[in-house]
Chain A
Amino acid sequence: MVDLVQSKPAAATEPKRSLTSRFSHLALPVFLILLIVISGLVSPAFLSGSNISNMLLQVAPLGIVVIGQAYVIILRGLDLSVSSVMATSAVIATSFSGQNGDVLPILLVAVGIGVATGIVNGLLVTKRSVSPFLATLATMIVLQGFRFAYTQGAPSGNVPPLFRAIGSATWNGIPYNILVLIVLAVVFGLLLARSRFGREVYITGGNPTTARLLGINADRVTIIGYVISGAMAAIAGLVLSGYVGIVDNWVGRGFELDSIVAAVMGGISLSGGRGGIVGGLLGAAVLVVVFNAVLLFGLPVQLQIIIKGVVIVVAAAFYVRRSR
């Protein structure tokens, strides 16, 4: 349409990106590998087959939650309600007969609750401009209340054997639940990285005003982000209930913060628009390895918490410097 042949081309001058910024995306994988190698040297038991498979078992539910959390954080939000959705979903898992025949209804009801929670979160954040922190804190508490009312404080019943198998059994040392994580990570990773919807997520998260002026329905994109997070949390709750085997009202407790920590460590910026699923999953892996090593080395559990805090500060400092 426009043809500009009249003047000289402008010189393509632009500062080169520094070496550190170009390789900064390798920092986390390198850190993870170092962590594994050092842990293995300190305690040979760390690299034993059973411990590795144990760690994989633990990373699966966290990783699944991180997938959803990644969408929400890239959209400038965060989702505190995931732990409550997980626990509710675990309660649902035991509310039927405990037979395999009920797996489908359980899945539908649990994911339905996750989706509904996501819709409420999304509507509060977009249409009512409630801050994501408050909106998801509120739905977390409300859902918790419903759960308590439903279980009368003492949930009972059995998890169907299929969930138990997926949640805790292994095949040649590879737990089944990691397969669930891989499938979900591939599907939602590709959706984020390659699809038109994913592009809209990044544009909206980077700047909602820009998105609106580009004709993107930023509210809808944001609501879908929260829906994905709710659905992932529901699935993670089922997986975790199979791992735990019994159910109480607090399955998934702490996952809201762990998932946010993992995402931030994985380079997903809390200011939105930046990061991806792979980073988030690496962050989840680092968390699980650190926790595992602390226990394996016979260090006090309290140290886990301290380490978690230190890791957050270090990760935050690292990414603040990187984004300059």
Chain B
Amino acid sequence: MLKLTGISKGFAGVQALSGINFDVRAGEIHALVGENGAGKSTTIKIIAGALQPDAGEIAFDGKVVSWSGPADAKAAGIHVIYQEFVLFPHLTVAENIFLGHERRGRFGLIDHDRTRRDAADLLQRLGVAIDPDKIVSELTVADQQMVEISKALVHKVKLLILDEPTAVISGREADLLFARLAALKAEGVAIVYVSHRLEEIFQIADRVTVFKDGAHVATTDIGDVNRERLISLMVGRDLKDIFPPKRGTGGGKVTLKAENVSVAGRVRNASLELRAGEITALAGMVGAGRTEFAMAIFGGLPASSGTVWIDGEQVGMLSPAQSIRRGMGFVTEDRKGQGLAMLLDVAANVTAADLDAVTRRGVIDRRRENQIAREEIEKYRIACRGPSTPVATMSGGNQQKVIVARWARTSRKVLVLDEPTRGVDVGAKTEIYRIMRQLADDGIALLMISSELPEVVGMADRVVVMREGVVSGELAGAAINEAAIMRLATQHPSAAGSHP
């Protein structure tokens, strides 16, 4: 159905793809896996015509093709469902489905009745009960995803690409999705399925292709691999070389205790304890309320209830400024939106949480600031020209190190890291893991929010799992494994997985 041969693509200085091969057959579900930065997204965009390859050949339906834009690929029957839905929240389901392909009647005006009828037909074909007149913003995320898939059916879809479809939906909804995908597959649609969740890949895929650092590593029938093999293919080395040795639980005193923290609509009566010298992971599905819980503890979100103790002292719910003064830090998930002062330089970002250290009588001591920045650049091996490099020009991994350096300076007691390795290459990842372990060894209590199960299993001394806004369980030491975490995260046996 689709065949990529020797596809290469580079962006300003970075080779995103180097000569990859990839093929999909009609009527199969082909899983595409790899770490962040492996080149999955770039590949999808090239297949979808959103990017043009620098070299290589795309063949679709037996013919060599060259898309000049997404419209070409769409016309040929390729449809992509990105993680971020492309839906207009204030329009109806039917209007969204036929957006850009409105059913027209007399005088070229939109025929609303026909739009509604055709939408109902499509939704029925997909086997979902969604009212075509409903406003999209009123639907659940899972139903919105179904609307996205319906959009693909407006045209005769031959190749459907799904980018991390289960990142936003729960286990039960995922099973419904898988059933729909199986039905499409039976109709002869080729499906490319991108996911981090190895369990579900073993559940639905026929073949799997592994990318790493922009190169094709392997393509195999799903029956010919097992979990461990797949992970080591993705990572390119054994797990023990990536994660620093754990310290193991026991010993550390409780540094921070949060009890019955609630955030309106997101978190209900969640509690946890963080111990000095330990890395505690906060695991769960996207949308389970992990970030909100941690943010409320730090003071970045208003909590409707809850109490925090630091070193046994009851401090109630703090503001970010108070938390920082008490030795807490928060490395946010969204570097660009919340973490960095993107327009400022490395020095200003490193000292941003601790302006006291560089302020003398209200004036910033730029020399002192540069000196601090140079020390941190060396300590964390941040690749940049110097303290005055604008952070906006740096790579994701180096930006992340700037943020970690900032908070490591001020966090005497507690450091929260929300998805600390998202969008970071394997080399920087390994370094960030080592920095985290080092900080823990220095006696700081770390809380790591992560959606990547191998990371949780590899790093955490203790795991607190959340599901739909509540803490659903806690694991420690040898009890930490992916299946156990998934079980607590979904409470849904089939997603917890009994695969090899």
Binding site for B on A (CB under 8 A): 1-4, 6-7, 9-15, 17, 194-200, 202-203, 206-207, 209-210, 212-217, 273-274
Contact = CB atoms under 8 A, between A and B. Distances in A.
Contact of A17 (B324, B393, B439): B393
A187 B181 CA distance: 66
A2 B355 contact: no
A12 B324 contact: no
A207 B393 contact: no
A276 B200 CA distance: 53
Contacts of B442: 1-2
A273 B390 CA distance: 13
Given A4-B380, A199-B364, A215-B321, 6 more contacts: A12-B384, A17-B393, A194-B364, A196-B364, A197-B362, A213-B298
A199 B359 CA distance: 10
B434 A207 contact: no
B352 A10 contact: no
B229 interface: no
Interface string B27-45: 0000000000000000000
Interface of B: 12-13, 298, 300, 319-325, 330, 332, 337-344, 348, 352-353, 355, 359, 362-364, 366, 379-381, 383-385, 389, 393-395, 408, 427-428, 430-431, 434-435, 438-439, 442
B338 A209 contact: yes
Contact of B344 (A2, A13, A195, A203): A203
6 contacts: A2-B435, A6-B434, A7-B434, A17-B393, A207-B341, A213-B298
A319 to B, nearest CB: 13
A209 B320 CA distance: 11
Contacts of A217: 321
Contact of A7 (B298, B341, B348, B431): B431
Given A10-B427, A214-B352, A4 B381 contact: yes
B429 to A, nearest CB: 12
Contacts of A194: 363-364, 366
B363 A273 contact: no
A195 B324 contact: no
A207 B320 contact: no
Contacts of A273: 341-344
Contacts of B427: 10
Nearest to A11: B383
Given A197-B362, A207-B342, A273-B343, A4 B353 contact: no
A4 B340 contact: no
Contact of B434 (A4, A9, A10, A15): A4
B363 A207 contact: no
Contacts of A14: 383-385, 389, 393-395
Most chain B CB neighbours (cut-off 10 Å) among A2, A13, A206: A2
Contact of A196 (B321, B323, B355, B428): B355
A4 B341 contact: no
A226 B380 CA distance: 39
B431 to A, nearest CB: 7
Contacts of B337: 207, 209-210
B13 A15 contact: yes
A137 B419 CA distance: 42
Contacts of A206: 341-344
A191 to B, nearest CB: 9
A2 B380 contact: yes
A10 B408 contact: no
Nearest to B389: A14
B352 to A, nearest CB: 5
Given A17-B393, A196-B363, A1 B439 contact: yes
B174 to A, nearest CB: 31
B348 A199 contact: yes
